[in-house]
Amino acid sequence: MKGSVKQEMMKEFSCANIKSLLSMTGLYLALLLSICVDLTGQNNSVFNLLEGDSLNISVEARGEIQWQQSSDSITWADISGENKSKLTLLAENNTYYRARISEPDCESIYSDPSFTRVIPVEDRKNIIFILVDDMGWRDLVCYGSDFYETPNIDKLARGGIRFTNAYSAHPVCSPTRSSIATGKYPARLHVTAYIPGKEKPYAKLKHPVDWTKYLKMSETTYAEVLRDHGYKTFHAGKWHLGQLSPIYHGFDVIDKNLGHSAGTDDPKNDHKYTESAMAFIEENKDSLFLAVISHNTVHVVLETRKELEDKYKAKEPGSFGQDNATMAGMIESLDQSVGILMNKLEDLHLLDKTYIIFLSDNGGLKTATSNRPLRGSKSQCFEGGIRVPFIVKGPRLPRNQQVSYPVISNDIFPTMLSMAGIELMPEVHMDGISLMPLLTGEAVELERENLFFHYPHYQSLPPHSAIRSGNWKLIEHYEDEKVELFDLSTDIGESNNLAGTQVEKRDELLQLLHDHLTEIGAQLPTPNPDYDPDRVNEGQHGTMDPEELLQPEYLNWDN
């Protein structure tokens, strides 16, 4: 009966003269998906009003209409005297409205619990996301380095929250970046290697032949959602998600990736990207903005200014084996750029209006830095390849706090939505959860027990997958079917394999891993009919996928 009534009913906003309404009230509409809105939940609308403003909406139906409101979208109360088709929405913080429609001879129909959400503009904040390439967990002083020097990033950590068990969703760049953009595991997206990957034609296993070498335009990104909710969006630097630029994935303004500028005073362009972001921020200081600074540093090729390299050549090596003077200079240059950015935000009086996120896309490269005491490095699902520095600072967040609960790069998308006051979209960022309860101190853990990692390609190791469940970590190697099990609470260096003694835990985690990979449609390596043990080390870089430029969304793009 409910379905048939839904088909017969017509609901629409009575906003025939939107331009006139805007000019009369000064209303800020961050999102108007459509003049027609289905109250049964196909669309959510978030309106952002200046304090004192209001918006009239109406719904047409054959039956009786009763409006309700809620502060938490769980407990609802009838709005006194409002049992008609028209409702006036007021600019009250985090107020939700819905309609109860009673049709003759059938049950009541409720609109979606977040049908209309009204948030005062002044309660919404800007977001700056600093994404670093290949920075290891130990590569900052605030994470234990006694060789590198990072006073500005350390200050950022003292002013906010530092995560000690933060993970990239993958041990190399492109898959992790896809997880950040979409809130989904790379294995769900089939973006499972750096783009365009490497071919190993004579290895024992074949990697998935149809893995995806680009971020599909059909995927919804955090930038698209923020842009559609009134944010000006900016991206500078490395993208590495295919041939198409960030413009096609939600960014209004980009400063393209310049790669490596050898022989200059800014060889990794960290200062150039920061200066470009600051110009964008100053231009949009009176608007809501998202600024992403995606650094090439500290990825190889390693190069830094001579005076910085000379400084660290004269310094004693660190306790954990860090002694690369070029790497140290690159990290200091990055740190300087962060300090310049923070000073600019202070000059523009934006520090209390802006969230700042600092994250690395995977663990450190073993030829560039030392990840000790962690085992492994970039391209491996051991801790050294996936545990990363992650810092968040922002308005009304506690200062100088540490969070040990395990989190992952998939969580960036929903966390940004929470920062922006936007309703979460679990059907979109389906593998990520908002970290706001951890950031505010309202919670010390979240309703998630397991993190998963999947690398079905050859790089520094043969194909393998992993699961972290509480303090337990299991790694399954596909080529020799070896399974490793570690208790990270006592063995952060993953040196004591317990798979032979903790059989019940091993089998439990192995089943959880297999079930997860099946559930998300992960692609697995397969036996290679061309396997030649004498030629396993032969290989070449892959090629880009021409299908990326044949996507309907791209072909129909209005340039």
DSSP 167-204: E-SSSSHHHHHHHHHHSS-HHHHT--SSTT-EE-TTSS
Pairwise CA distance, residues 91 & 50, whole Å: 7
* 59 token code pair: 């719904």
pLDDT at res. 256:
86
Per DSSP, the three-state class of 225 is: helix
Pairwise CA distance, residues 494 & 480, whole Å: 19
pLDDT at res. 81:
66
pLDDT in tens, 275-305: 999 999 999 999 999 999 999 999 999 999 9
Instruction: Enumerate residues 6+ apart whose C-beta is below 8 A from 128.
Output: 277, 281, 290, 291, 292, 293, 341, 345, 354, 355, 356, 357
Superfamily of domain 126-199+208-352+360-475+481-541: Alkaline Phosphatase, subunit A (3.40.720.10)
pLDDT at res. 156:
98
| CB 212 within 8 Å of CB 189 | yes
Q: In the chain, which residues fall in CATH 3.40.720.10?
A: 126-199+208-352+360-475+481-541
| CB 161 within 8 Å of CB 401 | yes
| CB 357 within 8 Å of CB 412 | yes
Choose among 250, 291, 297: nearest CA to 269: 297
Q: Outline where 365-467 has alpha helix (H).
A: 383-386, 412-419, 436-440
| CB 329 within 8 Å of CB 262 | no
pLDDT at res. 30:
26
pTM (two decimals): 0.81
b/e map 250-269, b = 16+ CB within 10 Å: bbbbbbebeebeeeeebbbb
pLDDT at res. 66:
75
Q: In which residue ranges of the chain is pLDDT below 50?
A: 1-48, 50-51, 112-118
DSSP state of 387: B
2-123 CATH: 2.60.40.10
Q: In the chain, which residues fall in CATH 2.60.40.10?
A: 2-123
Please state the φ and ψ torsions of residue 397, each to the nearest 5 degrees: -90, 150
pLDDT at res. 71:
67
pLDDT at res. 95:
64
